[in-house]
Every structure is written in structure tokens, then in C-alpha cells.
Copies of this chain bind each other. A is one copy, B any other.
Amino acid sequence: MTGRTGRTDRRRSAKPTIADVAALAGVSVSAVSKVMNGRDGISAPTRQRVLDAAAKLRWSPSATAVALRGARTRAVGMVAGRSPDVLATDPHFTLLISGIERELAPADYGLLLHIVGEEPGAEERAYRRLAEERRVDGVILTESRIGDPRFELLRHLRLPAVLVGAPWREDPVPAVRASGQDAGVRAAVDHLLGLGHRRIAYVSGPQDRVHTVFRRQVFETALAEHGLRPGRTLTSDFTAQGAVAAMRELLAADAAERPTAVLFANDTMAVAGMNAARRLGYDVPGDLSVIGYDDLPLGELVYPRLTTIAQDLVQLGRAAAAAMFTLLNVPHAQDPPTIHPPHLVPRESTGPAPAAA
């Protein structure tokens, strides 16, 4: 005891520890621990003395020490393998993160974020470090890719994981997503058909994304059900430049082949494509209808306002965090959020198919 007191005295102004609180309350260290963790065996007056002492010293348990002891770090990791440029144009991640935080914060969990760019292997290294250094209790994955190696990696690292979106194949990793995933694209196709469009093109994201393939299939199925062949389908990369190139290519065709409506895989591409078309002399929606995906606020800001397929990214983030808590057996008061299926938000960028066609 003497040694301890000596040390404490020597640095009285430094960070208080549980021992300081115990000393102030006149009880043992473990009594304080019991009080803080709500275990019984401590009488009400003693409990109050401890609480008062803790408050006076502004003490709360060191997260580090608790983590070391209990193997629970109260942090969740997320690795975003995208370049800052893409992140900046596309608030997709930001929305997801803010949803995740909504759920984490009340449980006193933190989000450890790693933005690693797109160099190959960078993402894997990040997960490895997160796991080996035991910095987080689990990780949230986004954007499952075809042949995604991360599931295997994380299983090997014994790091609990939750996926946002559809997995590339059956996998024990829990995945959160809305029911009725196909509703959005279907509604978009119906909307366009109802407006008289018959040649509808699709500009997708990178081929290796699971949702890319899925949405394209829905697109083609929906058209086929109405006895139509799918229009042209281009693969792009989620960037504005990619969208401009795709749009140029689509509009270069003969008038008889040229699409009268284009579905884009995200809002950023849709807006960029729409502007590219206008610069080439096409009126939107007069000559060409355009639909995006995500329903970012951006869609409201542009002229004409973008018709788009809304998906509830904030809720998706919340659900992912909730699923993580379930996986970790962390009690979380809030109900698991329901995620609405993607749905069409008709605005100004879609209109009747041009009569000339």
C-alpha cells in the first residue's frame, strides 16, 4: 500500500485510477469495481460513496485496461477500400457510417475507420492489422465482390464480421439488406415503360460487385417480362468520367438504336451522364430520360432534379451495427431497425419517350 500511495502522490495531478477512487471513498479497489459494474454485494451507502468519489475525480474505467482484461475493445472496425476522390463524390459511405454510429454511440462503442485507397492488398493488410492487434471486436464489410477473399480472411483471423449488402455466395457471415431488393429496379423499368420508352440502356458499376450483377439481372428480367430485349448494357466504374464516356458511347449510335432512357448504377454517374447528354445537345427529359440509384441529396440539387432509386443507407448502417451487436452478444436496447426496400423517387429527369422515336 505504501508504494502505491507513494506513486499516486508523486503524480497527484495525473489521470486518476481506480485506486484513487477507492482511496477517496475509503473502500477497496474491488469494491469500486463492483459498484461500477453493477454487481451486488455492496450496500447502498457504500455504493453512493464510491459513485461520489468517482464523480469528484472525474474517473471512468480506462478502456484500454478493460479491453486487455476482457478482450472486449468496444470498438468496431470498418475498412473502406476506395480512393478519396470517389469517397468525396459519393456520400454513400458517409451515410452508411452515420447510420452505424447512430447504433454504436448509445452502446458506447466507437468506430475505427480505415480508408486505404485502392492499391491491391491494402485492404487485406488493414483487416489483418485490425485483427492481429486486437483493436476491434468486429468489422463491418461493405460491397461484397465476386470471389471476395475477405470472408475467408476474417474467418481465419477469427474476427467477427457483418456484411452490408448481399454476399457473393452463401456464407456464415451475417448480411444485412432490405427485403425486396429487386423492387427498385423493377419500379424504374415499369416507370419508363409506362412513359412509352422501349429502348432502355443500363450503365452498371464494376463487374466484380455483387450488386452490379444482381441489379443488371433484375433489369433484364423486368424487361423480358414485358417481352422486350434489354437495351445496351455498359460497364462503368462509379465515377463521373466513366459515366460521361458511357453516355457518349450510347448517344453515338444511330437514332434507331439510340436509347431513349438510361438507368445508372449510382447517382453520381447519373448526374454526370445527364449533363454529358445535355452538352451534346440532348434535352433531359425531352430527348432522354435518366434514372440514378441511391437517392443522394445531390439529386435534389441538380437541374433537372434527378429521378432515382432510393435505398435507405442510414438504416442499412444501423442494421449492420445492430447485427454486429447480436453477433458479439452486446445488449443493445434499441429495436433492430427495419430497412425499407429500394423504391423509385420520380422527379424531373424522366419524361415521356420522344415521339420521333
Residues of chain A touching chain B, judged by Cβ–Cβ distance below 8 Å, are 15, 58-65, 67-68, 73, 75, 84-85, 87-89, 91, 93-95, 97-99, 101-102, 105, 108, 110-116, 126, 129, 132-135, 158, 240, 268, 271-272, 274-275, 278-279, 296-298, 300-303, 314
Let me know if A64 and B68 touch, CB within 8 A.
yes
Chain B residues positioned under 8 Å from A89 (CB to CB)? 91, 297-298, 301
Dominant secondary structure at the A interface: helix
- Given A91-B91, A113-B97, the answer on whether A133 and B61 have CB atoms closer than 8 Å is yes
- A111 in complex: contacting residue of B88, B114, B132, CB < 8 Å: B114
Contact across chains for A105 and B101 when beta carbons are under 8 A apart: no
Give the complex CA separation of A98 and B113 in angstroms: 10
Q: Would A75 and B271 be within 8 Å (CB), given that A63-B133, A65-B68, A87-B91 are in contact?
A: no
Contact of A240 among B63, B278, B301 (CB under 8 A): B301
Residue numbers in B under 8 Å from A271 (CB-CB): 301-302
A115 CA / B135 CA spacing, docked (Å):
20
Known: A113-B113, A275-B303, A301-B275. A94 touches B87 (CB 8 A): yes
Q: A75-B112, A135-B63, A271-B302 are in contact. Are A95 and B102 (CB under 8 A)?
A: no
Partner of A298 from the list B60, B84, B98, B301 (CB cut-off 8 Å) is B301
A-B contact pairs, 13 of them (CB 8 A): A60-B133, A63-B133, A64-B133, A65-B68, A68-B68, A75-B135, A87-B91, A87-B98, A88-B296, A89-B298, A91-B94, A93-B94, A275-B303
Known pairs A88-B91, A89-B298, A94-B94; list 13 more (Cβ under 8 Å). Answer: A60-B133, A75-B112, A87-B94, A91-B94, A93-B94, A97-B115, A98-B115, A110-B113, A110-B135, A240-B300, A274-B303, A275-B303, A302-B302
